[in-house]
Structure 1
Amino acid sequence: MLVFGRYSRCWRITRGCLRVLRRTLLTERFAMDEEWAARRQTLDTLALGGDYEWIAAVQKKFVGGGIASAVDVDAAVCAAEEKDQLEDLIDLVYRLRHTRNTADTLPSTEYALLRSMLRHDAMHWLFKILADPINYGVFLNEHSACLAIDHLLKAKNFAGAAKVASVVMQQEILTCELLNILSIYAALRWLDLPPEQRVFDASVQPTVAAEEEVNEEEMRTMKFAYLKNAHFDDHFDILDAERLVGKTLLWMVERTSLESNLIRSIQAVGALFFEKFDLLSQLLLGEPLMPAAVDFCRTELQRRVTSAGEESDTKYEQLLEKVEKCSRLETSKSLWSAVEEHLRRIQMEEEKQLIDTQRNLFKEWANRRTALIGAQVSILPSCCFSQISHGSHWNSQINPVRWGRK
């Protein structure tokens, strides 16, 4: 194997075939595939039967106005591994979201569904679900967000990676250094694209469709009209891609250990795209900035002046004057390459911290799932005993599609 540089891009010769492995930012160990696979051992002890069998059993609970429990759905989503099961899992999560049991949804359900979508490269589903938290109720955590951004960066889907970064910002997941750096890197790679490519098209920012009439068999227990904010909140209501990415840079860069001159340079770019022009003016007239940031601001401001024509806002011209007076640092690095260098320096320690945190969550989730299933089984005699002739049928009631029956 020949490895070039410090990255995982390499040429591998296998049985006469030449394969190119794609570059990745995070290590292979960070995916925690072995720890995640261990969940099957705990699920096997619950005697669910086959994956397909259990999914079908949970689906039946929603038929005719019935309701499955949150742990029913969790077991189905966590146990499934096949690509042809994915849409059934999404349907179960959607149905659970529209029942009174939605408040009991387990975080392992969201995490498992997100991992399944990444495993099978179902990016259309990933962005559809992230764009519609009201109907799906699926949210990223630090580990799943890092996996998603890294997956999209490997595929050179910079728009998708930047969109996930903006979702992280809107969820205000801001305490993880590794995730913040990855999000900033993704945003900068997207901004480095030509202006005509700096968009979030329908593939990464789908429009949430209006809800169709609900079948009587799928009647919800509670349903309220969607209430739109009376005022633009400049956060969840932001749809413009450049404003989203600009705010992502501004919010996240303040919560990193990047060098101060790099932070100010990224803030300048973020302020420009988030249209915080007073802040941009202060940064341009303050301490020296990286030339890459200054040149980027100049190019973007000139583009805006040109595209506006005679109707150009004088503020852009005033900002251009300040750009010309801005002090520059002595460096030729791009912003994203400087961020990547920082990532390499902190990577081992930050990955280890997040791996340890996620490993503890795996244990908590497994224990919680087992406890909930035990509690659910314990109430079955009182709920179902009148329908069972004698205790000889108890084993059939609790295996394999019974412990969630209500």
Structure 2
Amino acid sequence: MNGLCRSLRLVCTIRSLGKRSFLSEAYRCQEAWAQRLNTPILKKINIDEMYRELDQTLESKGKASAIDIDLFSNSVADESYADELEDIIHRFRLTPSTTDLLPSTPHAVIRSFIDMGNFEALMRILNDRLNYGIFPDYYCSNLLLDTLLKMGQFRDAARIATFQMLQEDWNHPITSCFGLYACHMYLKNKENELWEPEIKDEPEEEVKVRVKYIRNPYFDDHFDLRDTNHLIGKTFVILSRALPENDPIRLTYELVGWSLYEKWDKAKAFLEKFKSSKEEYILYEGITLIEKAFSEGERTQSKEQVQEFLSSIKNLPKVQLREEPSLLSLMEDRLKQVISQQEKNDITQQLEQYNIWGEERMEMLKKQAEMYQREFKLKKIEEKKKELIEKEEMLFFFDKKDELDMVIEKNEEIKRIYENEQKKKKKVEEADDGYIPPDVK
């Protein structure tokens, strides 16, 4: 009930901002998502006790059960447990059991933080994939993009689009169109929101560390990308592949993408190939995006290349470079069209997925209970065997006294031999320490 109230409060806040909504309320599947808390398994969970148990297990054993992590993640319905959820997910990621992470766990983490309205923590978790291992699926990406765009948080929405680019996945039409729109909106409002917060450099004491060898610098031009324009540019290039080849939206975004990515050879090759086609055209608004991205003194080293490339675009015939219609309005219309075609299918699939996850959770719990019961029985058997051995030793002590004496004597002999060897070794080492080599002429 508290989660539902927070979601309603979040929706009211979004509506009060007056931002345009793309996805319908039905897309959120809020009722089905909230229904998980009424399942017999999650009803029995005391979240405070479960956190303490998981904390002790991770501390003592260095690992935890994936189903326990999933149950805890799905049980969180209160923003007061945001720190605990982040802590458990991070620590579980560092264990060998992280390979067993259930698909429903990342979904639960993302939806919980969305319901809390804690987007700062959520973006930190999603951006640090190495230490958290939370990757949004299509459905969660769409929810996040829609919510962030309605709230006017264009930078974070563009970040979600770049995550999709890093996975090189443009198969879902809604996610790809959302990503293109988010990147466009970020560039349009770039001056209001920096990609990275400004950090004032403080003088630090120089520390020298001895290393065995220095690694050669390596840049993979994908996961190592940190430059804002490069990230946005490559996102335009990859996500635009979801659109038809001769679509002016795709052509314009691809041209903008190669420019921001500063792959001038590919940008020029694209432009030359485009010139040979008389039926295709691009939109002038793309030039505006390029100019805005390289404005305010940015990329001074590429200033001449940018101006040269922009001039070659502006020299295109009017048939191939059109000022109308607006690129952004076309993208909005295309996004609405794709949502109207795909939304019902996504909702149906997600509702089915909730049922599948519930059944899988029950099955895994049964298997875990059987495993614990088997381990308990084995432990009892080992304890019984140890007890019987001790009783046997007591009952037959005098019968086996001679054997025990021989074992003791043999162990003492081995000990004496070892001690003598150590003494000889020590004398040789002392003699070596005192050795002075002769002078060599």
Structure 2 vs 1, CA of residues 308 and 323 (structure 1 numbering), >3 Å: closer, same or farther? same
1:288 is the counterpart of 2:288? no
- Counterpart of 2:248? 261
* Residue segments in structure 1 that go unaligned for 5+ positions in a row: 1-11, 13-17, 206-226, 389-406
**Residue 233 of structure 1: SS of its match in structure 2?**
coil
1:201 is the counterpart of 2:177? no
Counterpart Cα distance in 2 of 1:21 and 1:190: 18
**Residue 38 of structure 1: SS of its match in structure 2?**
helix
TM-score (norm 2): 0.71
What aligned pairs does 1:4-403 form with structure 2 within 5 A after superposition?
Answer: 22-42=19-39, 44-45=40-41, 48-65=44-61, 67-194=63-190, 196-197=191-192, 199-202=194-197, 231-257=218-244, 260-281=247-268, 282-283=270-271, 286=275, 287-297=280-290, 303=295, 314-328=304-318, 329-385=321-377
Counterpart Cα distance in 1 of 2:132 and 2:67: 16
**Residue 219 of structure 2: SS of its match in structure 1?**
coil
Report the CA distance between 1:21 and its aligned residue. Answer: 5.3
Report the CA distance between 1:154 and its aligned residue. Answer: 1.4
Higher alpha-carbon deviation: 239-248 or 373-382: 373-382
Report the CA distance between 1:156 and its aligned residue. Answer: 0.5
Deviations 1:23-70, CA, capped at 9 Å, x for gaps? 32211111111121222233x246633333333333332233353201
Counterpart Cα distance in 2 of 1:67 and 1:297: 49
Structure 2 vs 1, CA of residues 139 and 239 (structure 1 numbering), >3 Å: closer, same or farther? same
Deviations 1:262-295, CA, capped at 9 Å, x for gaps? 2111111111101122333333762431121234
Structure 2 vs 1, CA of residues 64 and 337 (structure 1 numbering), >3 Å: closer, same or farther? same
* Structure whose residues are more often helix by fraction: 2
Deviations 1:63-98, CA, capped at 9 Å, x for gaps? 333532010110011121000111111111112112
**Residue 379 of structure 1: SS of its match in structure 2?**
helix
- Greater length-normalized contact order (CA 8 Å, ≥ 6 residues apart): 1
Structure 2 vs 1, CA of residues 233 and 189 (structure 1 numbering), >3 Å: closer, same or farther? same
1:48–1:54 CA contact under 8 A, matched in 2: no
2:170–2:241 CA contact under 8 A, matched in 1: no
Report the CA distance between 1:346 and its aligned residue. Answer: 2.2
1:188–1:335 CA contact under 8 A, matched in 2: no
Report the CA distance between 1:22 and its aligned residue. Answer: 4.2
1:264–1:289 CA contact under 8 A, matched in 2: yes
Report the CA distance between 1:379 and its aligned residue. Answer: 2.1
| AA aligned opposite 1:171 | Q
| AA aligned opposite 2:168 | E
Report the CA distance between 1:137 and its aligned residue. Answer: 1.0
1:158–1:186 CA contact under 8 A, matched in 2: yes
Report the CA distance between 1:373 and its aligned residue. Answer: 0.5
Report the CA distance between 1:261 and its aligned residue. Answer: 1.4
Larger Rg: 2
Counterpart Cα distance in 1 of 2:216 and 2:365: 39
Structure 2 vs 1, CA of residues 229 and 288 (structure 1 numbering), >3 Å: closer, same or farther? farther
TM-score (norm 1): 0.77
Counterpart Cα distance in 1 of 2:125 and 2:317: 44
Coordinate RMSD, CA, aligned: 3.0
2:237–2:253 CA contact under 8 A, matched in 1: yes
2:45–2:75 CA contact under 8 A, matched in 1: no
* Identity across the alignment (%): 26
| AA aligned opposite 1:347 | I
Q: How many residues align?
A: 346
- Counterpart of 2:416? none
Structure 2 vs 1, CA of residues 257 and 245 (structure 1 numbering), >3 Å: closer, same or farther? same
1:248–1:270 CA contact under 8 A, matched in 2: yes
**Residue 68 of structure 1: SS of its match in structure 2?**
coil
1:129–1:138 CA contact under 8 A, matched in 2: yes
Report the CA distance between 1:183 and its aligned residue. Answer: 0.4
- Counterpart of 1:398? none
2:145–2:182 CA contact under 8 A, matched in 1: yes
Counterpart Cα distance in 2 of 1:258 and 1:189: 23
